[in-house]
Amino acid sequence: MEINEFTIRTAPVHEDIQCIRNIVESTGFFRADETDIAVELIEERLARGKSSGYEFLFACHEGKPVAYSCYGLIPCTIKSYDLYWIAVHNNFRRTGIGSYLLDLSEKEIASAGGYGVYAETSSREQYLSTRKFYEKNNYQMKACFEDFYDDGDDKVVYVKYIKD
């Protein structure tokens, strides 16, 4: 599958609520409460618009979202952004769409004046591919908080400094 087979959309629509749930659930990585948080962010964006602080990019295949990113300016910072979510439907993993979406998200952040992009993930073995994804895309591990999510499940924080 080629990147040009995907279209990118920034404007969230109501149907994205179920699409995000489907994408996140398809990965097999997230608990039900984590999936609910992903859905809450799109609901918040739909309810409050840009004032929610959540920005979205959707990668669509044949008109349907199959991957997305959600990011936003970290409150009380001037140019630091959280990458809250980046997820690719399991049927579209290893197509390059995740890296492409990450690159587009970074470009959007840079054009908004952002400089640091922060992403957090788990230290569990299941998330090794996620950590390698960030490292492959030039993110550096900056912090590890032991037993953050649960016993033996550390929070790993990555950062990438970007320029417009």
Largest CA distance in the chain: 43
Q: Which domain range does residue 27 map to?
A: 3-161
Distance CA 24, CA 56 (A): 15
Cβ partners under 8 Å of residue 60, min gap 6: 6, 7, 8, 9, 66
Q: Tokens 């900056």 appear where?
A: 142
Cβ partners under 8 Å of residue 121, min gap 6: 127, 130, 131, 134, 155, 156, 158
117: its two tokens: 């992009």
Q: What is the pLDDT along the chain (164 residues), one digit of tens a residue?
A: 788 889 999 999 999 999 999 999 999 999 999 999 999 999 999 999 999 999 999 999 999 999 999 999 999 999 999 999 999 999 999 999 999 999 999 999 999 999 999 999 999 999 999 999 999 999 999 999 999 999 999 999 999 999 75
pLDDT number for residue 3: 82
Cβ partners under 8 Å of residue 105, min gap 6: 57, 69, 71, 83, 86, 117
| Number of structural domains the chain divides into | 1
Nearest 5°: phi and psi at 2? -100, 150
15: its two tokens: 């149907």
Distance CA 21, CA 16 (A): 8
| CATH code of residue 21 | 3.40.630.30
pTM over 0.75: yes
